[in-house]
Amino acid sequence: MDYMKELNVAITVCDKEGKILQMNDKSQKTNHGDLVGQNVLDCHPEPARTKLVRLMEEHATNAYTIEKNGVKKLIYQTPWYENGEFMGLVEFSLEIPFEMPHYIRKPKTE
């Protein structure tokens, strides 16, 4: 079952050198085509390129929101691992409402 293929979230996976390994349908539509095999660093201008290099070097997570063409998105870039070894980054891009509720969940007390 390849549930990621048609999921309404853009998912892009790259290896530790930045080579794009996988893009689901939404990612290909968002990024104007299939970029598998290309380097993610070549697809980003500065300062985003430098930030991606830092994320790969530090195995760090980056999260932010953007607005483009009247659509607000949450961008979440995070490392992925196999057997504890850093393998690269995965980026999730989700369309979100401009106004959305925020809830604070409190743990149950015993």
pLDDT in tens, the chain (110 residues): 688 899 999 999 999 999 999 999 999 999 989 999 999 999 999 999 999 999 999 999 999 999 999 999 999 999 999 999 999 999 999 999 999 999 999 998 87
Helix/strand/coil for 101: coil
Exposure string for 69-102, b = 16+ CB within 10 A, e = fewer: eeeebeeebebeeeeeeebbbbbbbeeeeeeeee
How far apart (Å, rounded) are the C-alpha atoms in residues 57 and 101? 35
CA atoms within 13 A on the CB side of 27: 22
Q: Which domains does the chain have, with CATH numbers?
A: 10-96 (3.30.450.20)
Helix (H) or strand (E) holding 55: helix 48-58
Instruction: For residues 51 and 67, give the distance between their C-alpha atoms in angstroms, rounded to a whole number.
Output: 19
